Structures are given as structure tokens and as C-alpha cells.
Structure 1
Amino acid sequence: MRETTVVERVFAEFEADALTSFRPPGVADAQRRLRQRRRRRGLLAGLTALLVGGPAGAFALAGGQTDPRPTPTPVVSVSPQRKFMERQIIVNGVPSTLTDIRFVDGRVGWALLGTCEPTADQVSGDCVRTLARTTDGGQSWRYASWSDATGPAQLLAVDADTAAVRSERVYRWTQDGGVTLVSLRLTDLPDVVRRSMATRSGLYIGCPGAKEPGAVPVTCTRSQVRRVGGGALPRQPALTLQPDNGGLFEGGDGRLWVVSTEGDGVAVATSDDQGESWLRLPTVAGPATLSVSPDGRGVWLLGEDRSRMVWRLVGDRWQQRGGLPDDTSQAAALDADTLVVTSAYGGLGFWTGGRYTDVPELREPLRRDRDDQDAGVDVLPDGTIAVRQSSALILGTGRGTDRTWVRIS
């Protein structure tokens, strides 16, 4: 499942962020910025998020009071029968540091490595970047490198064969798994890459007059659901879509979900005919996050206030299902019954029917004193759980809560 928001601002933010950081604006990273902004100002005005490669996940929409400091939540531990493994990306003698890693499913992933300093004015023959691909879950990697690099870079993982790296001046992209790289100007982004910034059927939220997702930013006071290469949909959802306050999701079952803030609540509209008609669902009060499972059957609203209340969509109504643990950092829908949850103190577990079950083997790898950043969690289209920890990635493959975990760094 892919999700998209106001892509134009994402790329505008990238230009600004590029001066000091090369981390791409994935959902987990965007939500982390959201929480930091909320703690600073006490009020969340909105967030633009972009998820390339299509994992399921959550999009925070409405603001509220600053959350109190969470307290550790009692957990139900399962027997440590699952496995945890470590894998390192080795590219045959190429000196480099992992700067980003993105998987499109449990086996296929892309990694960006380099020796470049993250400064905007560096032009050096010693600055080498490497784009690597794996098709066996990180056990082996094929790569291509180039030396005429400058400044920070952004990795866009499209599918098993296609990826792009955006630097300050050009795109380099491949359609053959990294065997060959083609350089293009920033204004010549290939359609296949533009479509990766939209839902699987090519829809995105953008301003009237926007050429495509990822094009030059267009300022507007009201956004639309648009189709790559086709303009705005004739019928729009009955929601107020403004820059930074809306998100678009497409589940594996083909249903569309548009979500936006309205006053102090969250409004959601859905379509099962590719936008020919829309059904508006009841508004839920308070700040919340929408999360849709990869198969499209699990649709949830996750409260962002003190209550951490959870609503699950049943028919065309939201039903309260209790609350998430008080120390929840991020959560994502695994299926129609289960959420995968990361803790602000480190660790990960599964939430089903109001009961949280800890994953013991992830307590140490996700311990906060090892990494001062919250761990971001997404669910990839094939159901693989992806936990982002700084520049490393932990993959959880398997079914339901029975998972094998691999940390790739």
C-alpha cells in the first residue's frame, strides 16, 4: 500500500533540509518531526509526509495539548522463541557509510552508502556514492558507484528494479536493479519515479495546477485529489483539504482513504470505485492518526492525546477499542485485529484487543540509550514489519505476531 500527501512541499523541505541533513522524508521520520514540533509548541498544525515504496503506516493529522511524559507500560512477554539476526551491508572493498536504507518488501531493498560529507557546497573526487540492491533480505548486495557527487542525497526506492537518488543537482536512477545508472536534471524526473510518489493507481494530493507529484512547488489554499498525468478527479471528497492537513491512502483491496483535520477533529472519506464516488465517515474528536493495513481490511484511527484511544472502522462507523500503552511512540496497522507498536523507551510489541504483548528479542536492539531517536515502524505491502532505527533497519518477516527479526546496517 502506498500513501501520499502534498508532495510539492516535501521536495521544498528537502531543499532546506539538505543543508544539514540527508535523511529522506519517510513516514516514520515525518512523524518524529511532528512529535518534536508538538512538544515545542504545544499545538500541531499539520504535517506533510511522503512514503516511497508503499509501506502501510500512519499519518498524524490533528493537534492537541502537549502529552505528559509517558510512563513504562506493564507488558505480557512471550517466550523468546523467535530469532534475531544481524546483517551488515558489505560492498566488496568500497569504503562507505550507510546513509539510508529502504525495502519494498521482505526480500528486496535498496541502500545508499557514501563517503560524502553532508554539506551543500562539497565537490570532490573523493566523494563517492554507492547505490546497492538486495533481493534476498540483505544477505547479498549488488551495487553501482559514482564519484561526481556533491552535498546530501535522497533515496527513492520504487520497486524491485527501479530506484532513484536525488542530489543537489541531478537525479541518478536505474531500471535494471542498479546495473546501469542514468543521470537526469531535477526537472526531468521519469514518470515511473513520479508515480512512486503517488498511490498504486497513480493518485496523489496536490494543489490545482500542480504538474505532477515532485514537480516545482505550487502554493494554494485548498488541495485536490489528482491523478498523475490526468489532473484533478472530477469528484472530490467532501473534506477540506489544505496544504499540510491531509493524507491519501490506497489499500491492497483498492479502496481509497482521504483524511484531513477539521476543527479539533479528524475527518475521513473513502471510495471503493477509484474516486467516482465518496462516502464521508463520522468525524472523530481530538488529534488522531489514520493507519491502514496492507490488505486494506484493517482501518484504524489512533489517538494522539493523553487517552491514546483507538478506533477501528466497522462497516461505516468508528468503534472504540480501548487505548494504546501510555509510552507508545508509533503504531501501524498490521491487519484488521492487530497493531504493531514501538515504545518511547525502546522495544516493540503487538496490540490486540486492548492487550499489549512485548517482543523480548527487540528490547536490547531498540534500547533508547543505544539510539536517542524514537524507532519508526511501518508495515510493507507484503506484511513485512520495518522498524527504522537511525540509518539501520530491522525487518520482521513471517505471519501475524510470529516473526523472525533481522537488523540490517
Structure 2
Amino acid sequence: MRDVALEEVFAEFEANARTTLQPPGTHDAQQRVRDRRRRRRGLLASAAALLLASPAGAFAIAGRNADRHEPAPTESPAPRLVERKIGLPQGVGVLVDLRFVNARHGWALFDTCGTTAPPEGLDCRLTFARTTDGGTVWTMSGRPPTQRPGSYLLPLDDRTLTVVMDDGYYVTTDGGTTFTTYPFSSPPPVTQQAKATASGFVIGCPSAGGVPGVNCERRQLERIGSGAVQPQPPVALTQESTGGLIEGGDGRLWLSVRERDKLSVLVSADKAATWRLLPAIEGAHQLMVSPDGRDAWLTTVAESEFGTASLKDVWRLAGDRWEPGPGLPDDTRTAAAVNGGILAVTGAYGGFGFWVAGRYVDAPELRAATLPGTDSPDEPSIQVLPDDTVVVSRTAAAIIGTGSGTTRTWTRIS
């Protein structure tokens, strides 16, 4: 660039000076400058020819040209799976349950007996631990007064936990320092809240005093602390009907009830005061709602010739009607809605990925971690937490996916 500029200056100078009186020696000086410039151009041309004749030179020239016009493309680091072990002292037993309430807060349960009954006269020792930083550091908690095998965790938040055993509920509200015992017939509000929606709505059984999860002929929609909702939703809630209750982050309630081959979906935008019945989709099996409440989906189930069931067709709610979309990938076992109009799906052979605008985006870094092994034949399940964290669970291990959309950081905790 500097040589070109000098040439323009000299050309302009020569044009202006042709008709003027030149000092002695000017013509000779200009001739010497022109001769030196021609020799320098020859040297540069020879050097360029040598460079272009070699592969390294070609890359150098290409790199220089790319820098001049646009930056060379750079590849982002390949996604990877971070492994974290729950570091507790030896002798605490095996990990039998692991639950997260959001990306940072989770609970773990260790049991010296596992899922088998201990020998007569020998009690199992349960050990609880919790994390507040996404699983990097785990702190041991206290122990309930009774310890039995087959227990599982029902967390509400980072300090409130219900341990469900075969003789009742054991509840801590101080991070596991102390526990209080409650019978099955009288669960405390925090236990009910752990089974309810964010605003405290739950489908209960009136004959059992509103205890959620109890089988009964007739069920009803209740709100913890307020009793039965009046009026009740305009749909039959019976023991034969199956479905669920979901509350999105926007406050809307979604009620799905399936009888035989018909799935009825109702939505309420005023805390169950009124309901809107959505059109029915023949063969619909599952309702999914994103954590922020903006997207609702329906899927159907197809059974293979070997008797295994897979999710197949999918619809997305647009206004007051369901819009069909391309079918899910073959052998999709489970699916869950994440924010942004995306479904997270698991496959029959350990695959995991996202269904985005009708196409499948694989997450190969999770395949080895979710593939069932000979020591654990169960398939992974998927859950999306209220903060849009994806949790892929298998036995007593969990893979936590934080971030948004398909761009996530994955951490396997076991």
C-alpha cells in the first residue's frame, strides 16, 4: 500500500512540474528514483513467485487475504460431558436416589442396604447429602430417626426435603439437620407442596382428606391450604382416568385427562376459576408444556411388533388449535418440552438429542453416558426443571444440562 501511495505522489508531482522551471539535477534524480523502483518491484515479484510455489506460501497469502476481507472461521470447542462424583466418606453405601430442584440445588440418598431388605435385626443406614453449586461440592446431612430400605426423596427446595419410607414421611426444613415424622394419613403442607404445582394446585382424593397420590373412585382439584377448588374443572376426574396437572411459568394451569383413547386438555389462565377445553386429537397420549408456559405439545404412541412403545406424532398448540408437525425420530422413548419451542428426546439405544423445527439435533457427547449397560438395563428418562434445566436420569445417576435451547453444558453426577 505504501508503494502505491508514493507512485501517486510522484505522478502528480511530475504532471505539475512539466511546465515549470525545474532545478538543476531534477530530471536525473527522478530517473534514479524510477530505476530503483523498477528493481524493487522485480525483487518483490520474485519473492512472491517463490512463496506461491510452496504450500506454506499459498496458505500465507490466503491467510493475509482472508484477514483483509473477513476473519477466518473458527470452530467452537466440541461439547463435552463433565464427570463429577459425589465425594462422601467410605461406608455410606450405594447411591439409590438423586434429585435436583434446579440447576444448583440437589439432594442425594445413600443406603447401605440398597433395594434389598436387611437381615433380621439389622437396620439400614441412610445417608443424605445436598449440593448448592450444581454438584461440585456435597455436604452430608443428618439422619432420620428410622432408616429403612426402599426410601426415596421428595425435595421441595434446597433446605426442605421429604423422605418417603414404608411407614410414613420424614421431613426436614433445615437442610437435613433435624427430621420430623408424619403418618401417610396426615402429610404436612411441605410434603403436599412437593407433589403440587408452583401455586399449590394438586389432584387429590376427598375420601382420604385431600391426600395427593391416593387411589380413589372420585378425585378433585385442590389447592393446598384452601381445600377443593370451586367450581371443579368441567371434566370427570375418576380412578379410571389418567392424566396430569402442569403449571407453566406464566401461571397458566394445564389439566389433561385420558379415558380410553381420548385425551382431553383444558387450560386456565385465572388460577382455576375458569377453564377452556382444547380440541381433542385422536390417539393423543401425552401433554407437554415448556417451563415458561409458552409452548404446549401433544404426542402419540406407536407400538412396535416387538411390543415396545415409542413416541411418534407430535402437535404444537397455536392459538386454539393443534398444528401437526413432522414425526419424532424413530424409537423415541421419552420427550420433554424445553423453552424456545424445542423438545428434548431420548432414544431406545441410548441416544439423546433435541427436536427443533421438525429436525433432530443429536447430542453425541451424552450417548455413552445414557446407553444402558449390562449392569443396569433400564432406559434413561428425561425431565425439565422449572428453570429450564434438563435432567437425564438413569438408575441413581443424573446428567444435568444447563444453558438454553440446544446449547448446554452437561455434567454427569453419580
Structure 2 match to 1:213? 211
1:266 aligns with 2:263: yes
Map of 1:378 onto structure 2: 383
How far residue 338 of structure 1 moved from its aligned partner, in angstroms, is: 0.6
Q: Give the whole-Å Cα distance in 2 for the aligned partners of 1:240 and 1:309.
A: 26
- Report Cα offsets for 1:96-133 as digits up to 9, x if no partner: 11000000001100011110253457565552101110
Cα drift, residue 148 of structure 1: 4.4
1:348 aligns with 2:352: yes
The answer for the alignment partner of 1:203 in structure 2 is 201
Deviates more, 1:348-357 or 1:144-153: 144-153
SS at match of 1:285: coil
Query: Aligned match of 2:321 in 317, 322, 332?
Result: 317
Correspondence list, 1:201-280, <5 A: 201-214=199-212, 217=214, 219-220=216-217, 222-243=218-239, 244-280=241-277
Matches within 5 A, 1:333-344: 333-344=337-348
Task: Give distance in 2, aligned partners of 1:372 and 1:218.
Answer: 30
Deviation at 1:267, TM superposition (A): 1.2
> 2:370 matched to which residue of 1?
366
Task: Name the aligned partner's letter for residue 412 of structure 2.
Answer: R
Matched residues in 2 for 1:135 and 1:348: separation?
A: 27
2-side partners of 1:252 and 1:123: how far apart?
49
Preserved contact between residue 392 and residue 408 of structure 1 (Cα < 8 Å): yes
Query: Cα 1:311–1:235, aligned 2, differ >3 Å: closer, same or farther?
Result: same
Q: Percent identity?
A: 44
Instruction: Kindly indicate whether the alpha-carbon contact (under 8 Å) linking 1:212 and 1:229 is maintained by their aligned counterparts in 2.
Output: no
| Partner Cα distance (1:318, 1:326) in 2 | 22
Q: Deviations over 1:65-98 (max 9, x none)?
A: xxxxxxxxxxxxx987212111111223343110
- Matched residue, 1:330: 334
Change (3 A) 1:241 1:188: closer
Contact 1:112-1:130 within 8 A present in 2 as well: yes
Q: 1:326, CA displacement in angstroms? A: 1.3
CA RMSD in angstroms, aligned pairs only: 2.2
Counterpart Cα distance in 2 of 1:153 and 1:123: 18
Aligned position for 1:127: 124
Distance in 1 between residues matched to 2:118 and 2:387, nearest whole Å: 40
CA deviation vs aligned residue, 1:358-399 (integer Å, no higher than 9, x gap)? 001011112234542111001111111000111111101111
Cα shift readout 1:26-77 (whole Å, capped 9, x = no counterpart): xxxxxxxxxxxxxxxxxxxxxxxxxxxxxxxxxxxxxxxxxxxxxxxxxxxx
Match status 1:286 vs 2:283: yes
Q: Which runs of 5+ in 1 are unaligned?
A: 1-77
Q: Relative to structure 1, is the Cα distance of residues 91 and 353 closer, same or farther in structure 2, using a 3 angstrom cutoff?
A: same
Distance in 2 (CA, whole Å) between partners of 1:142 and 1:237 is 44
Instruction: State whether residues 207 and 216 of structure 2, in contact with CA within 8 Å, keep that contact through their aligned partners in structure 1.
Output: no
Superposed displacement of residue 231, structure 1: 2.6
**Alpha carbons of structure 1 residues 208 and 376: separation in structure 2 relative to 1, 3 Å:** same
Q: Helix, strand or coil: the match of 1:192?
A: helix
Please name the residue that 2:158 is paired with: 160
Q: Aligned partners of 1:170 and 1:320: how far apart in 2?
A: 45
Most deviating of 302-311 and 397-406: 302-311
2:175 corresponds to: 177
- Tell me which moved more, 94-103 or 276-285: 94-103
Q: 1:265 to 1:168 in 2, by over 3 A?
A: closer
Alpha-carbon distance in 2 for matches of 1:171, 1:241? 26
What letter is aligned with 1:335?
Answer: N
Distance, in Å, in 2 between the alignment partners of 1:197 and 1:106 is 19
The one-letter code of the counterpart of 1:100 is D
Equivalent-residue separation in structure 2 for 1:116 and 1:230 (angstroms): 40
> Could you say if the C-alpha distance between residues 134 and 123 of structure 1 is closer, same or farther in structure 2, counting changes exceeding 3 Å?
farther
Q: Which has the higher contact order (CA 8 A, sep 6+)?
A: 1
**Residues 133-185 of structure 1 deviation map (CA, whole Å, 9 limit, x = unaligned):** 00011111111243742332121111111001122224322111123333344
State how 1:41-52 maps to structure 2 within 5 Å.
none
Contact 1:203 1:227 in 2 (8 A): yes
Asked if the contact 2:343–2:356 (Cα under 8 Å) also holds between the matched residues in 1, the reply is yes
Q: Which amino acid aligns with 2:97?
A: D
Residue aligned with 1:301, SS: strand
SS of alignment partner, residue 342 of structure 1: strand
Count how many residue pairs are aligned between Structure 1 and Structure 2: 330
**Counterpart code for 2:78:** Q
Residues 122 and 174 of structure 1, relative CA distance in 2, 3 Å threshold: farther
* 1:178 counterpart letter in structure 2: G
Per the TM alignment, residue 218 of structure 1 is displaced from its structure 2 partner at its CA by: 5.6
Q: Is the 1:286–1:305 Cα contact (8 Å) retained in structure 2?
A: no
Partner deviation per Cα, 1:197-251 (whole Å, 9 max, x = no partner): 1111111112333423347x4621x322122233321122222322251211111
8 Å Cα contact 1:80-1:360 kept in structure 2: no
Q: Is 2:394 aligned against 1:389? A: yes
In structure 2, relative to structure 1, the CA distance for the partners of 1:110 and 1:179 (3 Å cut) is same
Q: Distance in 1 between matches of 2:82 and 2:354?
A: 20
Structure 2: runs of 5+ lacking an equivalent? 1-74, 304-310
Residues 130-139 or 90-99, more deviating: 90-99
Q: Secondary structure at the match of 1:209?
A: helix
